[in-house]
């Protein structure tokens, strides 16, 4: 009985073949890599190009217009870090606002109102089909630079100054009573959490939808407000912007470069997100909406409880790539003078001549940001995904 089947020859044994194929594949990759590496060695020696990252600790010798405090006597490495932080600012805020805009435009494109629908589709079609660089130029030169000059700033109560040098707001800073207030905040946060949990349990029992988070938020705000009144002195004071010889000084300032980059990225990415949202909503079968209406849900509830959770499953994966695109597109900041990591790195390349090292650093920085974004979005995607039977 045991010898009915002849022993499978080695060259047809799937297990052996699998291992063999992989060994060959690795060999192939190693051969190519080795060839590249040998050439690199020869070429580096021939052209006398040095390679190393020690230059990052030498003095930068240039200034950066905004972001973390930076002096020309700081190092190249720190300059690059300032650039990374500036990039993160734009990406974080950009993702938030682009999602919001995309959601609005996507829903608007399905609106029953002719005008709203037309505006949404004209917006989407023009924005999606022109290069982003050109749009950034437009935002910067035709919108933000057309604001009044700094000595003729628009002054809003606050005082808030708005001029082509940017938006200057009063900046809060902590006084000595701030730590006391902080403890108060912590206590009200705990109370708010308790309220949230309690409310959730109640809603669950009562079998009805509701906003547990809203209640908790109200409790928290109330606690913070009462704490502020009880304390002898205000825990937070304001630093006012003032007009200096050339520029507004002090306060919290938002530069027009930042604003233009943010506006450009948000409007551009928003157009793509709008199409994704539209697709997602269309993918929810009409029967679902009708059934929800039949159950007596109000239109907003239909959207919130039935349509959006299902649409999210279709929306999230392509949304992730749009977030990644936004992150990568932020490198175009260099064209309009916002000191993001690519802009700063370019200056470093020009000055130190260390192109290869810096481009590697740029790639690694963007890669890290992209991977973190995709990791987060994948986690979120798993949460909203339909569990298939």
Residues 27-56 that bind another protein (CB under 8 A): 27-29, 31-32, 35-36, 39-40, 42-44, 46-49
Distances (CA, A) of 213 to 2, 197, 198, 219: 69, 9, 11, 10
| Contacts (CB under 8 A) with another protein, residues 263-292 | 279, 283
Distances (CA, A) of 330 to 73, 162, 231, 268: 27, 24, 44, 11
CA pair distance 280, 295, nearest whole angstrom:
23
Identity of the residue, 109 or 199, whose beta carbon is nearer to another protein in the bound complex = 109
Q: Which residue has the tokens 């939808």?
A: 209
Identity of the residue, 103 or 136, whose beta carbon is nearer to another protein in the bound complex = 136
Identity of the residue, 374 or 381, whose beta carbon is nearer to another protein in the bound complex = 374
| Nearest approach, Cβ of residue 331 and another protein (Å) | 5
Distances (CA, A) of 342 to 77, 82, 173: 13, 11, 31
| Contacts (CB under 8 A) with another protein, residues 175-234 | none
Strand partners, 237: 173
| Contacts (CB under 8 A) with another protein, residues 107-136 | 113-116, 119, 125-126, 128-134
DSSP 334: G
Phi, psi of 129 (to 5 degrees): -105, 10
Pattern of binders to another protein over 155-174, x per CB under 8 A?
---------xx---------
Per CB under 8 A, the list member of 257, 289, 292, 312 interacting with another protein is 257
The total of other beta-carbon atoms located within 10 Å of residue 313's CB is 15
**Interface with another protein, residue 25, by CB under 8 A:** yes
| Nearest approach, Cβ of residue 92 and another protein (Å) | 17
Identity of the residue, 88 or 116, whose beta carbon is nearer to another protein in the bound complex = 116
List, in sequence order, every beta strand (DSSP E) within the chain.
154-156, 160-163, 166-169, 171-174, 236-239, 242-243, 248-249, 252-254
| Nearest approach, Cβ of residue 355 and another protein (Å) | 5
Per CB under 8 A, the list member of 102, 256, 264, 280 interacting with another protein is 256
| Contacts (CB under 8 A) with another protein, residues 320-349 | 321, 324, 328-329, 331, 334-337, 339, 342-343, 346-347, 349
């Amino acid at each position: 009985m045991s010898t009915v089947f002849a022993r499978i020859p080695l060259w047809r044994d799937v297990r052996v073949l699998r291992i063999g194929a992989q060994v060959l594949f690795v060999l192939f990759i190693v051969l190519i890599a080795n060839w590249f590496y040998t050439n690199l060695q020869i070429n580096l020696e021939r052209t006398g190009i040095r390679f190393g990252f020690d230059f990052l600790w030498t003095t930068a010798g240039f200034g950066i217009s905004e972001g973390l405090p930076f002096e020309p006597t700081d190092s190249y490495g720190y300059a690059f870090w300032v650039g990374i932080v500036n990039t993160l600012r734009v990406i974080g805020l950009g993702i938030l606002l682009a999602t919001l805009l995309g959601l609005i435009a996507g829903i608007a494109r399905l609106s029953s109102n002719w005008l709203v629908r037309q505006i949404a589709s004209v917006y989407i079609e023009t924005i999606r089909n022109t290069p982003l660089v050109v749009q950034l130029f437009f935002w910067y030169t035709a919108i933000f630079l057309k604001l009044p000059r700094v000595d003729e700033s628009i002054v809003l109560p606050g005082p808030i100054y708005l001029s082509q040098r940017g938006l200057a707001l009063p900046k809060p800073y902590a006084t000595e009573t701030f730590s006391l207030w902080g403890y108060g905040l912590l206590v009200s946060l705990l109370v708010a959490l308790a309220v949230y949990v309690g409310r959730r349990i109640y809603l669950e029992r009562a079998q009805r939808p509701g906003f547990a988070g809203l209640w908790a938020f109200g409790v928290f705000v109330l606690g913070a407000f009462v704490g502020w009144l009880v304390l002898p002195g205000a825990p937070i004071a304001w630093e006012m912007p003032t007009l200096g010889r050339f520029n507004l000084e002090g306060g919290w300032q938002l530069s027009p470069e930042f604003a233009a980059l943010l506006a450009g990225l948000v409007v551009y990415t928003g157009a793509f997100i709008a199409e994704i949202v539209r697709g997602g909503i269309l993918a929810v079968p009409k029967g679902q909406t009708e059934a929800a209406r039949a159950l007596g849900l109000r239109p907003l509830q239909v959207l919130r409880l039935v349509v959006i959770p299902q649409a999210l499953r279709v929306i999230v994966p392509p949304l992730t790539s749009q977030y990644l695109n936004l992150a990568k597109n932020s490198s175009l900041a260099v064209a309009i003078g916002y000191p993001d990591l690519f802009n700063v790195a370019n200056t470093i390349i020009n000055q130190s001549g260390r192109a290869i090292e810096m481009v590697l650093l740029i790639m690694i920085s963007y890669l890290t940001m992209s991977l973190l974004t995709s990791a987060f979005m994948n986690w979120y995607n798993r949460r909203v995904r339909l569990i298939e039977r």
